[in-house]
Structure 1
């Protein structure tokens, strides 16, 4: 029987539900390690993970047998349970439905990893909405506005956040 050979690299982006900036720097590393464990236990390779208080990015080397939607669903469900069990936040933590997934070639990996690692600095200059819409445009992803995250203006926070 012939083996299957592949190089599939996917960056996944998703946000915290209800416009809440709930991912705290004090415990985000534990969350990222937990998500890394889920990815690894599912036979995939996590290459980078980072985010801000309201969303995360991660880059995986994915096997062709992996169903990305199932993997993301498991990450969201299990990490929700993990955060509830650890009581990191007194607020109800949930991930927003849906996610973005963007593919890359091997030659782009170092740039993508650096981009993910610099999320906090990046978002001092660009909102999550601006970033997400730029991804959709750059990757020529067709979408309907009503199927995107629900964005609202938050003057107190000085930017746009998602619902």
Structure 2
């Protein structure tokens, strides 16, 4: 078995950024994603979000690519949300997502950032946040889908 420890901060949004993840629903969704990840051997340290997106700090499983791990989390959670009738309309996640590695020295800062999503988004919109992430990585502005 290979041993790796790669922290990933992942962010994904609802399709067309529809704001359906209100606090009660968001809590249920995050709890379910965390539980599902555990069942799949994926360690999620933190998960939280805001009306139209989710943040997760997790370890990359040694036999997963980032895209495979995201597919496991996003796909199953959308299926579960729709089967459980948590929303009036069908939930779809956007195809795209944001993921970046996190150095061990920054893990506590990312934890605090994820825990503080409700307060954070009183000051900054999701799109402003996304643009900041992309620019901080040196990319030109990109569409989140």
Q: Same fold (TM over 0.5)?
A: yes
Q: Residues 68-105 of structure 1: CA distance to partner in whole angstroms, max 9, x if unpaired?
A: 21121122221111111211111121101110001111
Matched residue, 1:132: 130
- Checking the alignment, whether the CA contact within 8 Å between 2:42 and 2:60 is kept in structure 1 is yes
- 1:64, CA displacement in angstroms? 2.9
Matched, 1:71 2:69: yes
Name whichever structure is richer in helix by fraction.
2
Q: Does 1:105 align with 2:103?
A: yes
Q: TM-score under structure 1 normalisation?
A: 0.82
Residues 1:149 and 2:144 aligned together: yes
User: Residue by residue, what CA displacement relative to the aligned partner does 1:91-149 show, whole Å, maximum 9, x if unpaired?
Assistant: 12110111000111111111000000101111111111111111112122x3564xx12
Give the secondary structure class of the aligned counterpart of 1:126: coil
Unaligned runs of 5+ in 2: none
Q: TM-score, normalised by structure 2?
A: 0.91
The structure with more radius of gyration: 1
Alignment of 1:27-106 (within 5 A): 27-106=25-104
Deviation at 1:37, TM superposition (A): 1.9
Q: CA RMSD in A?
A: 1.6
The secondary structure found in structure 1 opposite 2:93 is coil
Contact 2:135 2:141 in 1 (8 A): no
| 1:156 corresponding residue in structure 2 | none
Q: Contact 1:39/1:71 (CA < 8 Å) preserved in 2? A: no
